Amino acid sequence: MEHVLNIQEQQVDPIEWHDPKNDPFKVNGFAWFDKEKEYRRMPKHSVMELPICVDELANCTSGGQIRFKTDSTKLLLKTRLSGVADIGHMAATGQSGFDIYIGEPGKQHYLATAIPPIHEKTYEAMLWDFTSTSSELREVTINLPLYQGIEELLIGIEPDAIIEAPTSYISNKRALFYGTSITQGGSASRPGMSYTNILSRRFQLEFINLGFSGSGKGEREVALTIRDIENPACLVIDYEANVTPDEYEKTLVSFIEIYREQHPLVPIMVMSRIPHALDILPEQNLETMRRRNHSKKVVDQFKQNGDSHIVFVDGSKLLGMRWHEGTVDGVHPNDYGFMKMANGLEAPLWSMLKSVGVV
Amino acid sequence: MEHVLNIQEQQVDPIEWHDPKNDPFKVNGFAWFDKEKEYRRMPKHSVMELPICVDELANCTSGGQIRFKTDSTKLLLKTRLSGVADIGHMAATGQSGFDIYIGEPGKQHYLATAIPPIHEKTYEAMLWDFTSTSSELREVTINLPLYQGIEELLIGIEPDAIIEAPTSYISNKRALFYGTSITQGGSASRPGMSYTNILSRRFQLEFINLGFSGSGKGEREVALTIRDIENPACLVIDYEANVTPDEYEKTLVSFIEIYREQHPLVPIMVMSRIPHALDILPEQNLETMRRRNHSKKVVDQFKQNGDSHIVFVDGSKLLGMRWHEGTVDGVHPNDYGFMKMANGLEAPLWSMLKSVGVV
C-alpha cells in the first residue's frame, strides 16, 4: 500500500503518529479484524461468494471504532480514504468524517468531529487541543466514516503522552445489526449519530454494523457469512427496506433458519422498517404493511415452534408522533430520526441481552 | 438576468413552469419581498450601510417559503443557485436543497426533498408524482435553501391543474429571529429542519430568519434595519455565539434600545446560546457563562425599567440531558439539536405571542 501519510513528518509541536491497528489501541466493530487486520465489515478472504455490492460496501467502515486512553494535550488524526464525499443528502462529516467521544463505555460524551475537506480523500484533523487546561487521562472512542473506506489511518499523539488500552467491555459478546442503508447510517450528520453507534454508547459491548446500502437483501451467502461471526450477543435483522414484499417473503425465514442452525439460543430481533414519507400513498402503504405483517408472522411462527429467543419490533412506531420529520429525503433518517430509533430500540435490546445474561 | 432555465421546455409529460414570485403563489420569509421581489433577507437598496458579510449572507434564502395549493399530479422545481454546496459539515440538501411539506399552516407534514447534484448549481427535481393515486387539492410549503442564494426558481405543474393561493396566516404579524449560523440553520440536513422553520410549522404565522453565519454581531446598522420590518409579532435575539463577552456587553443593550425606540410593545426574547461541546473546558465555560449572565442581566434591567414585553430564555438548557449529541461539530446543531431547540422554544414563544394577542 502506498503510504501518502508520512509517519515521520515533523510538526511545530512534535506529534508521534500511531497506527491504531497496533496495541494498545483497540479496533472494534469489525468481526474479522482480529484475523485479517482490515477495516472491513465482511471477511476479505471468504470461501463464500458474497453479492458484489455487499462485498464492496463491506469496506465502508460504519460502526468501526478506535478506542484507547491518553493524556496527550493534543490529539490528531490523518487518513487516506477510498474516495471523496459525494452524497447529496448526507453531510461529508457523516460519509467521510470521524467523530470523537470521551469517557468509558456507556458514559461517552461527544467532543469533536474531523471534517473532511470537500474534494479531498486525504486529510488531517485536530481532534482536541487541551493546551490551556489540565492534562488528564481521557478514554477515547473515535467513530469511523459511515460511507467510505479507510486506506490508511494514523492517530497523532504527543511523544511523551501516555497511551493505554481502553476499558474492557463487560462481555466479549458482540451485538450484530444486519440491514440496509438505514442500518449503515445513511444519513447521519456524523458517524456517531447512526442508530447502531448511538446504541453502542448505552451498552458496554462491541457493536457490529452489517448494514449494506441498497443491498440488504437477505441472501443465503450473507446469512452464512454472518453466522460465522464468533461470540454474538444478539442479531438484529433490519433489511425490509431493501426488498419487495415478494423478496422478503422468500428470504426471511431461511435467513433466520441459517442463523439458527449455528446459534440456537442467540437472541434475534426482527424489526420492520421505519415509516417512509410516501407511506401516505395507499399503494406504498399496502406494501409496507405486507412486509411488516410478514416480519411479525415469521417471528410468531418461530415462537410457536418453540423458539423463545426471537422478538419482533415494530419499526413503524420508532419515529414517534412527528415521524415525518425524521428523515432527510423521505427514507433515510436524519439525526432526529436516528435518535428516535435508538431511544425506541434501547429497551427491547436491553431485554434481549438481559435474557441471555450479556448485560 | 440570464435565463438558463428554459420556461418553454417540453417534457414527455407536459409541465408548465411558473415563477412563484407571481400570484397566486405566496413568497414568505423575506421582509422586503413585497417591495423588492427579491429572495433576500435584508433590503437590497438600503440607506443603511450593512456590514459586508451580513449584506452577502442576506442572499442566502434561509427561512424563505413558497406557498400555494395545487391538485397537480406531478410537482417539480428547477432552480439556478448562486453556488454549489461546499460545506463539509452540512448536507448539500440543507445548504442548497429544497424540501416540501403538505398541509395547512400549523398542520404541515414533510413529504420530499429536492436533492442538489454534487458540483451543480442548476438543477431540476421532482417533488411529487401522485400518478398512481387520486388527485386532490394539496396545500404546499416549499422551504428554500439555508445557505445558498437563489438566482432563479420555477415551479413545474401540469397544465390543466389548479393553482390557488395558500391559506392565509391568522395574523399579518411576523415572528423575527436575529442571530448567527445556528439561527440561519447550520447544520440542518434539509431546510425544513432549521429551528425557525420547525417552529414556523407550529404557528400559523410568517417566520422571518435573520441569522447571519459568523456575522451576528449586534451592529447598530443591523438593528436599525431590522426595526424597519413592518408588522413584527416578536423579535428573538440569538447572537451570543458570534461575539466575545466584551463585544456582547458592548452591543446588546443598544441593540434592544434601538429596536424599542420603534417598537415599544413588541415582545422580545433574548436567548443565550446552546451549549457547545468545548464548554466542558473551564476557560470556555467562563466565557459562555459570562455571556449568558449578561443576557439575563440585561433582560432583568429592562424589566426593572418597566419593560414588560421582554423575556430571557436559557439556551444552555435547550438541548436537554443529551446536549452533547445535539451538534454536528460541537457548535452547529444537527437535526436532533434543532428539534430539541424548537421543542424548548415553542412554549416561551407561544406565551410571548399570546401576551400581545397574535396567537
* Distance from the Cα of residue A51 to its chain's centroid: 20
Residue B4 pLDDT exceeds 50: no
Q: Which residues of A touch B277 (CB under 8 A)?
A: 110-112
A173 touches A82 (CB < 8 A): no
Q: How far apart are CA B37 and CA B152, in angstroms?
A: 12
Neighbouring CB atoms inside 10 A of B261's CB total 11
Taking residues B284-291, what's their average pLDDT? 94
Supply the Cα-derived Rg of chain A in whole angstroms.
Answer: 20
B238 touches B295 (CB < 8 A): no
Dihedral sign (CA B70, B76, B82, B84): positive
- For B100, the grid coordinates are 416540501
Peptide bond before B24: cis, by omega within 30 degrees of 0?
Answer: yes
What are the beta bridge partners of residue B141? B67, B101
- Percent of chain A residues past pLDDT 90, beyond the cut: 92
Q: Shortest CB distance from B93 goes to which of A277, A280, A328?
A: A328
Q: How far apart are CA A29 and CA B187, in angstroms?
A: 28
Would you tell me which residues 155-194 of chain A have a C-beta closer than 8 angstroms to some C-beta of chain B? 187, 189-190, 192-193
Contact B335 A330 (CB under 8 A): no
Residue A90 pLDDT exceeds 50: yes
pLDDT band, residue B134 (cuts 50/70/90)? confident
Taking residues A34-43, what's their average pLDDT? 97
Contact A189 B117 (CB under 8 A): no
Contact B330 A111 (CB under 8 A): yes
For residue A127, which amino acid is it?
A: L
Using the Cβ of B252 and the Cβ atoms of chain A, whether some distance falls under 8 Å is answered with no
Contact B91 A86 (CB under 8 A): no
B85 touches B118 (CB < 8 A): yes
Q: Which residues of B touch A135 (CB under 8 A)?
A: none
Residues composing chain A: 359
Give the C-alpha distances (Å, rounded to integers) separating B300 from B222, B248, B297, B303, B355: 24, 16, 5, 5, 18
Q: Which residues of B touch A118 (CB under 8 A)?
A: 86-88
| Torsion on CA atoms A278, A279, A281, A287, rounded to nearest 10 | 120
**Which one has a higher pLDDT value, A352 or B47?**
A352
- For A122, the grid coordinates are 486525504
Q: Which residues of A touch B280 (CB under 8 A)?
A: 109, 111
Interface test with A, best of B334, B341, B346 (most A CBs within 10 A): B334
Give the N- to C-terminal CA distance of chain B in Å, as an integer: 41
Taking residues A71-77, what's their average pLDDT? 97
For residue B234, which amino acid is it?
A: C
Contact A88 B93 (CB under 8 A): yes
Would you tell me which residues 277-336 of chain B have a C-beta closer than 8 angstroms to some C-beta of chain A? 277-278, 280-283, 322, 324-325, 327-330, 334-336
- For A40, the grid coordinates are 472491513
Per DSSP bridges, beta strands A98-102 and A109-114 are antiparallel
The structural domains of chain A, ordered by start, are 16-164 (2.60.120.260), 174-355 (3.40.50.1110)
Give the C-alpha distances (Å, rounded to integers) separating B299 from A109, B223, B356: 33, 17, 18
Would you tell me which residues 132-151 of chain B have a C-beta closer than 8 angstroms to some C-beta of chain A? 132-133
What angle is formed at CA B242 by the lines to CA B306 and CA A140, rounded to 5 degrees?
Answer: 125
Neighbouring CB atoms inside 10 A of A161's CB total 16
B149-197 residue pLDDT tens: 999 999 999 999 999 999 999 999 999 999 999 999 999 999 999 999 9
Half-sphere exposure at residue B195, Cβ-oriented, CA atoms within 13 angstroms = 35
A193-244 residue pLDDT tens: 999 999 999 999 999 999 999 999 999 999 999 999 999 999 999 999 999 9
Q: How far apart are CA A62 and CA A338, in angstroms?
A: 14
**Residues B227-232: contacts with CB under 8 Å, at least 24 apart:** B227/B258, B227/B259, B227/B261, B227/B262, B227/B263, B228/B43, B228/B262, B229/B31, B229/B174, B229/B176, B230/B31, B231/B172, B231/B173, B231/B174, B232/B173, B232/B174, B232/B175, B232/B176, B232/B263, B232/B266
What SS3 class is residue A12?
coil
**Which residue in chain B is spatially nearest to A279 when comparing CA positions?**
B111
Q: How far apart are CA B211 and CA B197, in angstroms?
A: 12
Closest by Cα among A338, A290, A289 to A318: A338
Q: Which residues of B touch A283 (CB under 8 A)?
A: 132-133
CA of B148 vs chain A CAs: smallest distance (Å)? 15
Q: How far apart are CA B358 and CA B355, in angstroms?
A: 8
B198-233 residue pLDDT tens: 999 999 999 999 999 999 999 999 999 999 999 999
Complex confidence, ipTM = 0.95
- Percent of chain B residues past pLDDT 90, beyond the cut: 92
What is the DSSP secondary structure assignment for residue A246, as one 8-state letter?
H
Q: How far apart are CA B77 and CA B154, in angstroms?
A: 6
Residue A134 pLDDT exceeds 90: no
Per DSSP bridges, beta strands B174-179 and B232-238 are parallel
| Torsion on CA atoms B84, B88, B89, B95, rounded to nearest 10 | 0
CA of B90 vs chain A CAs: smallest distance (Å)? 5
pLDDT band, residue A45 (cuts 50/70/90)? confident
Residue A2 pLDDT exceeds 60: no
Contact A339 B325 (CB under 8 A): yes
Q: What is the DSSP string of A177-238?
A: EEESHHHHTTT-SSGGGSHHHHHHTTSSSEEEEEE-TT-----HHHHHHHTT-SSEEEEEEE
Taking residues A43-56, what's their average pLDDT? 92
Q: How far apart are CA B25 and CA B48, in angstroms?
A: 31
| pLDDT at A12 (0 to 100) | 61
Exposure of B82 by Cβ count < 10 A (0-12 exposed, 13-18 middle, 19+ buried)? middle
- Percent of chain B residues past pLDDT 70, beyond the cut: 96
Residue A3 pLDDT exceeds 60: no
**Which one has a higher pLDDT value, A97 or B12?**
A97
- For A198, the grid coordinates are 448511538
Q: Which residues of B touch A187 (CB under 8 A)?
A: 91, 189
| pLDDT at A355 (0 to 100) | 96
Per DSSP bridges, beta strands B98-102 and B74-81 are unpaired
B45-102 residue pLDDT tens: 888 899 999 999 999 999 999 999 999 999 999 999 999 999 999 999 999 999 999 9
Using the Cβ of B118 and the Cβ atoms of chain A, whether some distance falls under 8 Å is answered with yes
Answer left, alpha or beta for residue A21, where phi above 0 means left and psi between -120 and 50 means alpha.
alpha
Q: Which residues of B touch A87 (CB under 8 A)?
A: 91, 118
